[in-house]
Amino acid sequence: MERQVTGSEGRARRRRVDLAVAVAGIALLAAACSGSSTAGADTFLGGTYTQSVAFAKCMHSHGVPQFPAPDAQGNFSNSQINSITQGNPQARNAFADCDSLLPNEGTGLSVTQLQDMQQQNLKNAVKAAHCMRAHGIEGFPDPDGSTQDSGVNWQPVQSAIQSGRVDTSTPSYEAAYDACSGKRVGGPIPPNFAPGFVPPSPGAGASPASG
């Protein structure tokens, strides 16, 4: 019998797969590869060859038969992964089930590279928050860098929206979001803070937003 996944486990798995897919999908791994003399910009760094083969087999068995095989060094094609995962919920779910087979839960990054990426994500998010305030949304708080895999915890923003300090339905908010979110390139402000977002009421069991 399949074990039921608890709410906290589900949220943790979603954070892991969101990070793994984001890293692959927007080619942050290209920068992560810059320190290697053998890895090119289109390389998704897997694990050892054995680990990467096990990961590919897991993806196949979870309904993603087109997932590519690794090369002899255990690496994958970043562009192939991107083409498979983009807009493919089944591939994202497979990542959630299989990412533990790779180092650092499928990010393809070393610990140092992962920390660098998290710090950059946080800097970008704080810069976006400053931009929102500069565009008239004075109650828009900075996110913080606690406990989130991506390095960004957007809970302060969610709390501001829930409390009414920030109203996402106004024309001024929409203009600020368009100017500061970077939505045309996928970030850094999460889409659940887009104009018109209706937050769950406090105490309704909403999980902290992460990006």
pLDDT band of 47, cuts 50, 70, 90: confident
pLDDT at 165: 93
Residue 52 tokens, joined: 């990467």
pLDDT band of 133, cuts 50, 70, 90: very high
Q: How far apart are CA 55 and CA 76, in angstroms?
A: 11
State phi, psi for 8 to the nearest 5 degrees: -65, -40
Q: How far apart are CA 177 and CA 92, in angstroms?
A: 27
Q: Where are the alpha helices (DSSP H) in the chain?
A: 7-25, 28-32, 49-61, 78-85, 89-98, 111-134, 155-163, 171-180
Give residue-wise pLDDT tens across range 28-38: 333 333 333 33
Residue 137 in contact with residue 167, Cβ under 8 Å? no
Q: Is 4 exposed, middle or buried (0-12, 13-18, 19+ CB in 10 A)?
A: exposed
pTM over the 0.75 mark: no
CB neighbour list of residue 16: distance below 8 Å, 6 or more residues apart: 96, 99, 105, 106, 149
Q: Which has the closest alpha carbon to 73: 50, 41, 105?
A: 50
